[in-house]
Chains A and B, each alone.
Chain A
Amino acid sequence: MSTAKTGSGYHHAHHFDSAEHEYVSAKQGVWLFLCTEILMFGGLFVGYAIFHHIYPEIFKVGSKFTDWRLGAANTVVLLTSSFTMALGIYYSQKREQSKAVAMLAITILCGFIFMGIKYIEYSHKIHLGLLPGTWYSADPASLVKYVGDMEIPSNLPMYFSFYYMMTGIHGIHVLVGMGLIAWVMIRAMKGEFGPHYYTPVEGVGLFWHLVDLVWIYLFPLLYLVS
């Protein structure tokens, strides 16, 4: 693709009039993409709402196996990462390169912490045999200490179907987001961003905030629902 020079040194693509024109177009594209993400997660949330209406008891019992402290810790981690992401965009705009890179690195680190805590939670459940659907193999005797005298509903596995589908698809988004942040961080290290060009950082930032926002809904729906 041929490029055209602008005063700022950034080469905008040939079919745009200016770097500003390319920026607003790219931003609209990112927002449309976020709409598709919301609709995709929307399917899961609608499924959740319907089955929560039909079988409220499986969500009541199922959430006993989640640890709200770990969930809350992850919420704090992601909120912090959203803040550092926003700072990363801010410093990229200001061309304060080392601060921008540091903020993006912290954001990635938060992603690792989030996935680490998720790993602990997953392995605990997998150890108990609390798997989705037909893979569920928990021994009822080993569950007593979590649920006390609550009766274990026969279709409890469906709670774990929701748990793994929702947190799993969200987790994939976290991993993709971390990869994207690593990509803009490397570009930031090369000094590609400044007041006239920071579109990729901002686009990735918007995506990261959405991933964060989805978790804000998942946390109460899966951990605090009882």
Chain B
Amino acid sequence: MASASTASAAHTDHNYLNHEKGLWSWLTTLDHKRIGIMYFITVALFFLVGGIFALLIRTELFSSGQTIMTAEDYTRSMTYHGAIMVFFVIIPGIPAFLGNFFLPMQIGAKDVAFPRLNLASWYCLIGGAAVALTSLAFGGADTGWTFYTPYSISMKPAVIWMVMGAFIAGFSSILTGLNFVVTTHKLRAPGMTMNRIPLFVWALYSTAIIQVLATPVLAITLLLLAAENIFGIGFFDPALGGDPVLFQHFFWFYSHPAVYIMILPAFGVISELITAFSRKTIFGYTAIAYSSLAIAAVSFFVWGHHMFVSGQSEWAGVVFSFLTMLVGVPTAIKLFNWMATLYKGSINLSAPMLYALGFMFLFTIGGVTGIFLATIATDVHFHDTYFVVAHFHYVMVGGTLMAIMGGIFYWFPKMFGKLVNDTIARWSFFFIFMGFNVTFFPQFVLGSMGMPRRYFDYLPEYEFLNQISTIGAYMIGIGFVIGTIAVIQGLLNGKPAGPNPWGAKTLEWTTASPPPHENFIQQPIVTAGPYEYR
């Protein structure tokens, strides 16, 4: 980015990592960069736990009948895999980790607007996780991450712990979102107008709006669910005159927008990667920026597509079906603009770009199969089958996790001042991308053959495809192990990165790597857009 103060990239030994020393200085830090790194470590650990549950599930499903665990343990594994991955990995993943670190830097700010709330949000996540995992001491929750009533109100203490854990973690998300909205509005550097902020910031801003507006509805829903378990308040219990479908409405009123909390930041990362590694100005900046806002807006009006077979009215179903398909429009705008950016670009196939291209490929499959599920007639067939499982994994893993990996390798030199070995990082991409398709493509086939999801067992004719799927899951596992090796190798032996190893143009690359305590030596003054390549 053209800027009057690119001199601030001057070399300095003082940076945010050595600004203060000791574990206590980290646990009490108000520096957004350090909090971002703390989120990185936390989310990576939760990902490991959630991933182990995933491998347990796939191992059990390797053959029909009981393979390694009982049906009860299978249901618990599935619940913990889902709940950990959703509430503690994918939702905080990009915003609270990469967003925390780079949103203030990309707009030329010294920190987020409310550093204390930022630290508090990390403690909310840790507290929520501790409470949620306490449920294991009570025999473990087995409701699935959706806590559907009336099963979830059968007075099982494990469910209450799990629900309250998610409730507390929700505050982490709200505080992050609130911080990002105010930071984006109030802390932009001089000259950083709203149509000059990087697209990653636009994506995080749109996400933050959803986090602030949707999460409180989940909070009250989970609170009512806990009250239902403890006092039998009867709102969701048909035996007491309540309505279990009301729970589904409440739950998905948050949890569908939450899907966009998971994917919108990923879109932001991909916008950065595609333009930086094509060495070309992003095509359609405005369209990409406003499509993020459009997705955030539409996201509040599509929740009913989770409930086509719940007994909601047919008219509601038709309206939700049309509104859901509307989501495809802004999403396609993004994809076509990225493709137009690639066109005639000087493409550099480093690991982050491979992840970005992998994202585009996998997310497109995930998105298009979403249209199958938005269509009521086909959804009735696919509902609760592995088709749905494959669809949302293509979006959440093929989309969000690919973007997280790409983002980690892209910003690693900035965060730690060292380069990752690109060959190792590319191998991680190869295993994750291949393994992902081997795991989840067969699940589309299994789903259309009618194999129901969430079940511990299946008919023998589904066995072959399930075995392929399980082998793929292990390939993904190997891919993430290689990715971890790449990160550790970079931390220990990486070559010095210099301020801007990729030749990218956004503001964070104009300062030293790792950045100094207050991000920039001098206040950056912005005189042009974010992607001034050519």
Contact = CB atoms under 8 A, between A and B. Distances in A.
B250 A43 contact: yes
Interface string B348-383: 000000000000000000000000000000000000
Nearest to A168: B227
B95 to A, nearest CB: 15
Contacts of A36: 174, 178, 212-213, 215-216
Contacts of A25: 113, 182, 185-187
A134 B250 contact: no
Given A43-B217, A155-B240, A133 B232 contact: yes
B234 A29 contact: no
A130 B250 CA distance: 27
A43 B113 contact: no
Residue of A21, A35, A43 ringed by the most chain B CB atoms within 10 A = A43
Contacts of A33: 178
Contacts of A29: 113-114, 117, 178-179, 182
B328 interface: no
Interface string A60-72: 0000000000000
A32 B178 contact: yes
Interface residues of B, number: 42
Given A15-B111, A36-B216, A133-B240, A24 B186 contact: yes
Residue of A15, A29, A42, A169 ringed by the most chain B CB atoms within 10 A = A15
Contacts of B112: 15
B422 interface: no
Q: Please report whether the interface of chain A is mostly helix, strand, loop or mixed according to DSSP.
A: helix
Contacts of B182: 25, 28-29, 32
A21 B220 contact: no
Interface string B202-228: 000000000011111101110110011
A158 B242 contact: yes
Residue of B30, B234, B246, B518 ringed by the most chain A CB atoms within 10 A = B234
B216 A161 contact: no
B170 to A, nearest CB: 10
Contact of A15 (B110, B174, B240): B110
A109 interface: no
B181 interface: yes
Interface string B101-113: 0000000011111
A47 B215 contact: no
B243 interface: yes
B241 interface: yes
A21 B186 contact: yes
Interface of B: 30, 109-115, 117, 174, 178-179, 181-182, 185-187, 212-217, 219-221, 223-224, 227-228, 231-235, 240-243, 246, 250, 518
Given A47-B250, A131-B231, 6 more contacts: A40-B216, A42-B217, A43-B217, A134-B240, A155-B241, A165-B227
